[in-house]
Amino acid sequence: MVWIQLKTVLPSLLTHLAFTLALSAGLWFALKKTFTIKIPFLAALAIGATFSIYNSAGYMWSLAQNRQLIALEASQSAGTASQAQQKLSPVELKNKFLQTVEALVGQPRELTTDIKLALFNEFSSLFPEGDKDRAAYGKAIMRIYECQKFLFEDALASKKYGKLMKSKDREACESEDGSFFQRERLIPPEIAANNTKLIEELLSGP
């Protein structure tokens, strides 16, 4: 983790070092023209470099401390969340997990490996069989987004051909079992009707 942080901030640290060296050199030449100074040029650069390295070390130390605080807060939050989840029924816990996944998918840049691991740890009671259960959840969730893709494809095809298009894939989604999401159909009838209405509105537009 420290190495990753170092690689991230290294360009800024090198820029600071270069700026400090340039400032030290400029100050040395300015003082040399105005005053008689006995500090060698290389010594002036060394002083500037030392100051920059000291400043960068302090910055990295601050980052390390912040990381430890964040980890501590996350650990405490996870413990609180775990206690709260113990009061939820399996259905409520599952719904909370799905809502959390939906929110994270909307922010793909935030969906790091650490966050995924924390998510599965937080809802570990949903996966008593480990990878097998996680794979089942992943398959069900990906199916929803696959059906969403079919809707977009039908919308584009409808706009292209000037008439309402409905693929067999989208029809299959609307008739597929939705028990995983605690509903009769994967795509409930009211949502299917709204999807059709959306495409019709797209056709009637400019």
In angstroms, rounded to a whole number, what is the distance separating the alpha carbons of residues 203 and 162? Answer: 7
Report, in angstroms and rounded to the nearest whole number, the Rg of the chain calculated over CA atoms: 29
pLDDT digits (tens, 9 = 90+) for 41-66: 677 677 777 777 766 666 565 655 55
Question: Under the phi-then-psi rule, with left for phi > 0, alpha for psi from -120 to 50, and beta for the rest, what region is 182?
Answer: left
Q: Is the pLDDT of residue 14 over 90?
A: no
Q: Is the pLDDT of residue 16 over 90?
A: no
Question: Residue 150's CB: how many other CB atoms inside 10 A?
Answer: 20
What's 24's DSSP letter?
Answer: H
* Most confident segment among 8-12, 56-60, 141-145: 141-145
Question: Beta partners for 177?
Answer: 185
Q: Is the pLDDT of residue 79 over 70?
A: no
Helical spans, DSSP H, in 35-130? 41-85, 90-105, 113-122
Please report the pLDDT score of residue 71 as a whole number.
54
pTM of the shown model = 0.52
55 or 170, which is more confident: 170
Q: Is the pLDDT of residue 158 over 60?
A: yes
Please report the pLDDT score of residue 60 as a whole number.
60
* Most confident segment among 17-31, 75-89, 113-127: 113-127
pLDDT digits (tens, 9 = 90+) for 178-201: 988 888 999 999 999 999 999 998
Please report the pLDDT score of residue 183 as a whole number.
87
**Single-letter code of the amino acid located at 93:** L
Task: Report helix, strand and coil shares of the chain as percent, to nearest 5.
Answer: 80, 0, 15
21 or 130, which is more confident: 130
Please give the structure tokens belonging to residue 51.
């100051």
Q: Which long-range contacts (CB under 8 A, 24 or more apart) does 54-60 make?
A: 55/16, 56/13, 56/16, 56/17, 59/9, 59/13, 60/2, 60/5, 60/6, 60/9
Confidence label for 103 from pLDDT (cuts 50, 70 and 90): confident
Please report the pLDDT score of residue 155 as a whole number.
92
Confidence label for 110 from pLDDT (cuts 50, 70 and 90): low
In angstroms, rounded to a whole number, what is the distance separating the alpha carbons of residues 160 and 53? Answer: 61
No. of helices (H) and no. of strands (E), the chain: 7, 0
Q: Is the pLDDT of residue 2 over 50?
A: no
